[in-house]
Amino acid sequence: MGRVLIIGAGGVGSVVVHKCCQVPEVFSEICLASRTLSKCEAIRDQVPCPIEIAQVDADDVEQLVGLIERFRPDVLINVALPYQDLTIMDACLRTGVNYVDTANYEPRDEARFCYAWQWAYQDRFREAGLTALLGSGFDPGVTNVFTAHALKHHFDEIHELDIIDCNAGDHGQPFATNFNPEINIREVTAPARHWENGQWVETAALSTAEMYDFPEGIGPRKIYLMYHEELESLVKNVPGLNKARFWMTFSDNYLKHLEVLQNVGMTRIDPVMYEGREIIPLQFLKAVLPDPGSLGPLTKGRTCIGNLIKGVKDGREKEYYIYNICDHEACYREVKSQAISYTTGVPAMIGAKMLMEGKWTGAGVFNMEEFDPDPFMQDLNRYGLPWTEVILKG
Ligand code: NDP
């Protein structure tokens, strides 16, 4: 029994609150805080258990400390934006609270994933006797735990890892992103980067593509090489990894719109003058695109996110695939959100549950693959993200 403070009343925050409500034996008191109070009110009115709500600007450490001292949570789940990670970690250190997030810190003026900023908190969390769990979403998050599970139960050594993220859903809109458009477009337009033979190899954004045949009737789809933050921690924590790549599917329609928006400068993140004031084109674009939250009732189809792994077991070469399939409409029926928010919010709840139950313990800053995957994998099956594994060779 304990108290959880959730920061960020967006698509993911809504799912986290719904899922915490489903586990009252662990999360007995829930508080949701965000910049816009009306968004917290809307979620409070939707969920099946009583929750507290609060307004907070998570860029302001003093405001966060005040809120944490009033609510006194055992764990804080940060599902605001990556820009707020460091201020929220500072507030957790000041108040002695364990920390969970789903995306690594990014400075506003530079589209660059990098754990260095958050790993730099290692000594402070260790000395305070607190746990910071980084990247407890699906990717990063479940994909890290899938890798740890494969290493524990199926491989002596992992040599090649391909994380493949397919959204085979359709929302029927000409152009919309499934989660925060600013964060999504910064991610997709950044150069691709993968790990090969002990070094990072950088290529132009969306310049490498292959076909991949997805299971359970989803079928062949074009996948594009990208950079994704879990590669950085997995390369560090999985010994012997020679190659690690991340792939994502995009429809031709999405890419056509993105190319035009890029060509006309709408995805820029540097300020431009407009009618006497500075605006950031990408932030303006976010204001005119559909709110990802509004896509929930419109989205049909499924996601399939998984890891394709090659390595060695008992001296023999082995190839293995582990994946989850999630249905957009089933998610909407359960928690009024589409599958992208669902597949992120469920692991965020489970990560916090691991800390609350003392199944994952330790003082310091941790990535997901550093803990025992077994209790987390069991909870994925229990709370809505069942997984399937296939031995392809060996
Ligand atoms: P949304 O934009 O829907 O929600 C973000 C929420 O955070 C909004 O309610 C916003 O408030 C609030 N917020 C923003 N700035 C502040 C601030 N300074 N103080 C307080 N609240 C603030 O995003 P999503 O729910 O789609 O995504 C949430 C997080 O999940 C992001 O970090 C995203 O990168 C991550 N994510 C991770 C994935 C994974 O698999 N690991 C996949 C998808 C997302 P307001 O409404 O007022 O703007």
- Domains of the chain, earliest start first: 142-335+388-393 (3.30.360.10)
Tokens 């049909």, residue located: 300
Which burial class, exposed, middle or buried, applies to 360 when counting CB atoms under 10 A from its CB (0-12, 13-18, 19+)?
buried
Note the pTM of the prediction, 2 decimals.
0.96
Ligand 1 centre from 359 Cα, in Å? 27
Torsion, Cα 65 70 71 75, to 10 degrees, reads: 30
pLDDT for 127? 98
C-alpha pair distances (Å), 235 with each of 51, 140, 173, 196: 40, 13, 37, 10
pLDDT for 316? 97
pLDDT for 322? 98
Ligand 1 atom nearest to CA at 343: 40
pLDDT for 33? 98
Residue 35 Cβ < 6 Å to ligand 1:
yes
For residue 343 the two structure tokens come to 């597949």
Which burial class, exposed, middle or buried, applies to 83 when counting CB atoms under 10 A from its CB (0-12, 13-18, 19+)?
middle
Tokens 């993200």, residue located: 385
Q: Which of 14, 35, 307, 341 gets mutated to test ligand 1 (max ligand atoms within 8 A of its CB)?
A: 35
Q: pLDDT (tens digit, 9 = 90+) per residue, 151-184?
A: 999 999 999 999 999 999 999 999 999 888 888 8
Separation CA 373–CA 376 (nearest Å): 5
**What's the angle, vertex CA 37, arms to CA 36 and CA 39, rounded to 5?**
75
Separation CA 153–CA 371 (nearest Å): 14
Separation CA 195–CA 49 (nearest Å): 45
Can you give the pLDDT of all 394 residues of the chain as single tens digits? Answer: 899 999 999 999 999 999 999 999 999 999 999 999 999 999 999 999 999 999 999 999 999 999 999 999 999 999 999 999 999 999 999 999 999 999 999 998 877 789 999 999 999 999 999 999 999 999 999 999 999 999 999 999 999 999 999 999 999 999 999 888 888 898 899 999 999 999 999 999 999 999 999 999 999 999 999 999 999 999 999 999 999 999 999 999 999 999 999 999 999 999 999 999 999 999 999 999 998 888 889 999 999 999 999 999 999 999 999 999 999 999 999 999 999 999 999 999 999 999 999 999 999 999 999 999 999 999 999 999 999 999 999 9
Q: pLDDT (tens digit, 9 = 90+) per residue, 80-122?
A: 999 999 999 999 999 999 999 999 999 988 777 899 999 999 9
Torsion, Cα 285 290 293 294, to 10 degrees, reads: 170
3 contacts 31 by C-beta, under 8 angstroms: yes
Ligand 1 centre from 180 Cα, in Å? 7
Q: Which of 65, 179, 350 gets mutated to test ligand 1 (max ligand atoms within 8 A of its CB)?
A: 179
